[in-house]
Structure 1
């Protein structure tokens, strides 16, 4: 490679000088002749191109010189310089190949490669500053270090010297250094990749969730528990345990924090149990810190994208307590006056309480915790307008006298109401059944015919209850209508039977047949006192009722003659307000 470049350099040198290499060597020989005559003109063709003037008399000015010896020495020097020029040509070739532009002026080309030695010798005997300007090689500098005669002879024969400019070879790094560089590059690439990955994860590995209506960004792997822990439950706290008077017994003894995810309530598994125990007054080992912890089951709930979460504080809980209860009786309100007493509203007892806290021991009078509700009875006597109605009623049956009375009613086509004794219904169920079958109304006259004002509440309720049961068993009819024996049924009886009966029916015309005054007296009492809406009292049991059987046909015919229409009690009640 270098040989090729040397030949290339020589050819380029010949192109630059415009002469063959041999001619240049001849010029060097002529310029180096020691016997040049003083005063001869310099070779302008060559000397001008090198920028120097040859002084042929310089050798005489410096004394006697052995021109033969100098010529020989100079010849050797020239050969050495040719070798140097040859190397420089190779360098020029290398330099030209690298793209250095060539000068256009031929004289300038030669001056860049050769130096007029005579000019150097004229300037301060070959000082080092001139050497550096001319670019003198190491061989020329050694020649100038000789004796002065040789220097003078050399100055009389100038030599063109080419600059030896060599391009430094690149320094090859040691193997360990190259390995270190490779490792550093690999590490840089890896770190860059990791950084990009982390950035991408931070940038793209996030989701949006909404907590109590406020959106925020979280990692896609975030759990509900982690979100709550990192944000201190969004300031939501468990409820407190309060005493009966409202004092705080424990900050975290109430209901747990309430979590919802996309509208579905999520029950915790730690604080909830503790709050329940607190409400029950149980010992919780006073570990308040545990109650504020995020429930463990929330840690397994991974948040979906666009999750809607709500977090609310738990409710306060009042400590458990015992209560001393005092009942408040209800009032009985009987409105108006009339033959029929109808229950409008059952009574309800109220209550007052004194509470004792199981945890604090506090006693608190809660006063009335339940207000009493009055029992209300409306009394009335129906008198329908533009009508004449009257009701026949029979007490104390059934008995052996009930059959003949039913026959008369059937013959007359009249409907009546029978207030029967429970024991009698049980004894004569056939009559009970016939009454119902023929369109008559059956109701209760107690079970054993007691004076109900003389019975205590339990006795009263027992008798009434049994009477209804026997009638139902005999007739198949359920009723809550009562006619109290002797008519003795006041506010207390209403209180005791609260809701057991729904109505109590009295009478307005008493025939006093129980005194057995005779059939005409019984009939006269009924006919003389009759009025629209009147209720006539007679008996079909409880004694000898032959007078009632004898008086009944005349009473029916007489009332019909007066224009009365016979109705049952239910029918009469339905006419109230008409």
Structure 2
């Protein structure tokens, strides 16, 4: 009886070896199938590369215009950010420090959306007529408020009322702030009329110009869609102030518009 048992045990061993061998030959094939599926489907979302940011245009060649908004943030700023996002337009916001303290979440949203953030004093003070102590206080408090809200330290100032002075130029140079004024002013703070704002901006805009508006006025915010759409139809490209000049601006210097890549100082 030992003979047949030995034969049976030997046959079983051969069969087991054959099965194991078959599995070992299948395993690499399964791995190749999984790899092929992974290649076909591409990397997982967490591994997918981020899309490259489109470089800003050369504004000495393109029809660039910089839309800028003063005195915010305010309740109407959120609506403006929605409008800009829908049209993929970047703008520059000159912020009032006390409003930054009231609406820090809007400042963060401006920064996260890729807009440029700048200083417009803490209380909309007339810096051109202010003492050195007043100027330093207004600018420092605003810089601190913006930095606390967004993590950004502005490198540009728009003096309220466009009021500047030799003293302000010296202080802004020391503080690393360029002075940015404007070329187009629809006086939206006065008319509070949406169609009037549209008409004035569209009539005055030219390549290299800086447009001044106020996002604290809903009538102005409502004018922005038509302004963007009409100018875009005419071939204009919308840029931030820094992109307009193609470089970081010189602290203390005054900028009004782009002219062959060079800043235009006030008379």
Q: TM-score, normalised by structure 1?
A: 0.32
| Aligned: 1:520 with 2:177 | no
In 1, the alpha carbon distance for the partners of 2:60 and 2:170 equals: 34
2:177 pairs, out of 502, 519, 528, with 502
The RMSD of aligned alpha carbons is 1.6
**Paired position in structure 2 for 1:482:** 157
| Aligned: 1:460 with 2:135 | yes
Deviations 1:237-296 (A, max 9, x none): xxxxxxxxxxxxxxxxxxxxxxxxxxxxxxxxxxxxxxxxxxxxxxxxxxxxxxxxxxxx
1:18-57 correspondence to structure 2 within 5 Å: none
Asked if 2 retains the 8 angstrom alpha-carbon contact of 1:482 and 1:501, the reply is: no
In 1, the alpha carbon distance for the partners of 2:237 and 2:173 equals: 34
Find the structure with the greater CA-based Rg.
Answer: 1
**Paired position in structure 1 for 2:25:** none
Question: SS of 1:537's equivalent?
Answer: strand
In 1, the alpha carbon distance for the partners of 2:113 and 2:171 equals: 35
1:547 pairs, out of 216, 219, 222, with 219
In 1, the alpha carbon distance for the partners of 2:114 and 2:171 equals: 32
Question: SS of 1:390's equivalent?
Answer: strand
In 1, the alpha carbon distance for the partners of 2:117 and 2:75 equals: 17
Asked if 2 retains the 8 angstrom alpha-carbon contact of 1:420 and 1:442, the reply is: yes
Asked if 1 retains the 8 angstrom alpha-carbon contact of 2:67 and 2:238, the reply is: yes
1:237-386 correspondence to structure 2 within 5 Å: 384-386=59-61
Asked if 1 retains the 8 angstrom alpha-carbon contact of 2:127 and 2:168, the reply is: yes
In 2, the alpha carbon distance for the partners of 1:574 and 1:386 equals: 12
Q: CA deviation at 1:404?
A: 0.4
Q: Taking structure 1 as reference, are residues 547 and 471 closer, same or farther at Cα in structure 2, changes over 3 Å only?
A: same
**Paired position in structure 2 for 1:565:** 237
| Aligned: 1:420 with 2:95 | yes
In 2, the alpha carbon distance for the partners of 1:392 and 1:469 equals: 24
Asked if 2 retains the 8 angstrom alpha-carbon contact of 1:457 and 1:497, the reply is: no
Asked if 2 retains the 8 angstrom alpha-carbon contact of 1:419 and 1:445, the reply is: yes
Asked if 1 retains the 8 angstrom alpha-carbon contact of 2:198 and 2:226, the reply is: yes
In 1, the alpha carbon distance for the partners of 2:154 and 2:179 equals: 12
**Paired position in structure 1 for 2:68:** 393
In 2, the alpha carbon distance for the partners of 1:393 and 1:529 equals: 15
Q: Taking structure 1 as reference, are residues 385 and 453 closer, same or farther at Cα in structure 2, changes over 3 Å only?
A: closer
Which structure ranks higher in relative contact order (CA pairs < 8 Å, sequence separation ≥ 6)? 2
**Paired position in structure 1 for 2:79:** 404
More strand by share: 1
Question: SS of 1:504's equivalent?
Answer: strand
Q: CA deviation at 1:480?
A: 2.6
**Paired position in structure 1 for 2:105:** 430
More helix by share: 2
**Paired position in structure 2 for 1:447:** 122
Deviations 1:117-149 (A, max 9, x none): xxxxxxxxxxxxxxxxxxxxxxxxxxxxxxxxx
Asked if 1 retains the 8 angstrom alpha-carbon contact of 2:100 and 2:146, the reply is: yes
Deviations 1:334-366 (A, max 9, x none): xxxxxxxxxxxxxxxxxxxxxxxxxxxxxxxxx
Q: Across the two proteins, how many residue pairs are aligned to each other?
A: 193
Deviations 1:488-531 (A, max 9, x none): 01222113444113300000000111013411110011111111
2:228 pairs, out of 540, 553, 556, with 556
Asked if 2 retains the 8 angstrom alpha-carbon contact of 1:516 and 1:547, the reply is: no
Asked if 2 retains the 8 angstrom alpha-carbon contact of 1:468 and 1:480, the reply is: no
Asked if 2 retains the 8 angstrom alpha-carbon contact of 1:443 and 1:482, the reply is: yes
**Paired position in structure 1 for 2:213:** 538
Q: CA deviation at 1:447?
A: 1.0
Question: SS of 2:141's equivalent?
Answer: helix
Asked if 2 retains the 8 angstrom alpha-carbon contact of 1:391 and 1:533, the reply is: yes
Q: Taking structure 1 as reference, are residues 476 and 563 closer, same or farther at Cα in structure 2, changes over 3 Å only?
A: same
Q: CA deviation at 1:412?
A: 1.1
Question: SS of 1:423's equivalent?
Answer: helix
**Could you list the runs of 4 or more consecutive aligned residues of structure 1 that deviate by over 3 angstroms after TM superposition?**
575-578
In 2, the alpha carbon distance for the partners of 1:384 and 1:473 equals: 32
1:154-165 correspondence to structure 2 within 5 Å: none
Question: SS of 1:532's equivalent?
Answer: coil
In 1, the alpha carbon distance for the partners of 2:204 and 2:181 equals: 16
Structure 2 residues not aligned, in runs of 5+: 1-57, 248-257, 262-267
In 1, the alpha carbon distance for the partners of 2:60 and 2:126 equals: 36
Question: SS of 2:174's equivalent?
Answer: coil
In 2, the alpha carbon distance for the partners of 1:496 and 1:392 equals: 26
